[in-house]
Amino acid sequence: MSNNEIPVKEIGELLEMVSAKVPNLLKEIMATFYSEEAANNMGAAVGTFYKKLLDSGINQEDAMKMTHDYMNTLKNLIPQDFAKFEGNFHSKEKK
């Protein structure tokens, strides 16, 4: 193969492999974010954050606002359209 030729066969094989693995990868990622264990960990992290704020002398109202902001930050780490993407991928895959 010369340097100017595009390896179409190899690219096709690579894309087939990727398309076979992506749905399971997405499911595993979703399970990581939305599992009982993840919820327990997030609850513990948020609770610990709130307690630490109170222990450091921050009043309850400010600690609650800061904890709310912290929880939203954790929540925003998860792409909001991730589930939509996974659904769209599966619907395209079935066509």
pLDDT band (50, 70, 90) for residue 95 = very low
Distance, C-alpha 21 to centroid of its chain = 17
Would residue 63 count as lying in a domain?
yes
Number of domains composing the chain: 1
Structural domain range at position 81 = 8-94
Would residue 2 count as lying in a domain?
no
The H-assigned helical ranges of 3-81 are 8-33, 36-55, 60-76
State the maximum Cα–Cα separation within the chain, in Å, rounded to a whole number: 71
- What is the torsion angle, in degrees rounded to the nearest 10, for the CA atoms of residue 63, residue 69, residue 70 and residue 72? 150
pTM of the model: 0.55
DSSP 39: H
| Residue range 42-94, pLDDT digits in tens | 899 999 999 999 999 999 999 999 999 998 887 777 666 655 655 554 455 44
